[in-house]
Amino acid sequence: MRDSGYLICMGPAMAFIVSEPEQPAIEVCINFGVFAGRDATRAEIDRLAGWLLDEVGEVSIISEERLETDGSVEASVHQVRIQVANGADDREALAERIVERAEYWARLCVAERHAEIADDV
């Protein structure tokens, strides 16, 4: 960007609009907090990534606190999302294999460590 002939360097934006968001070929959502009663740890997410990389060449794993509210009701849950940009020739079969690994991973995490709140679920 130029102003009066001088180059103005701008740093990274704190918040920005994604004008054309890319849609992943496959997206799997894990309701981790509902069953574990806690957030997934970085080590657990790293383990999940390792389990997925032999199935896909590249994967994005998003660990997020999801909040939905309308002013009178509020709900918050920890979710883990798996996004694969390029689906295989048989996208549906690959998606099913990812779901199977994700469910196994989540059950293992819950069995190893969970909050007492999750005992009633």
Q: Does 7 have pLDDT greater than 80?
A: no
What's the CATH number for 25-68+76-120? 3.30.70
Q: For 36-62, what is each residue's pLDDT tens digit?
A: 999 999 999 999 999 999 889 899 999
Reference 79, options 102, 56, 98; nearest CA is 102
Q: For 92-119, what is each residue's pLDDT tens digit?
A: 999 999 999 999 999 999 998 766 544 5
What is the residue extent of each domain of the chain? 25-68+76-120
pTM for the structure as a whole: 0.77
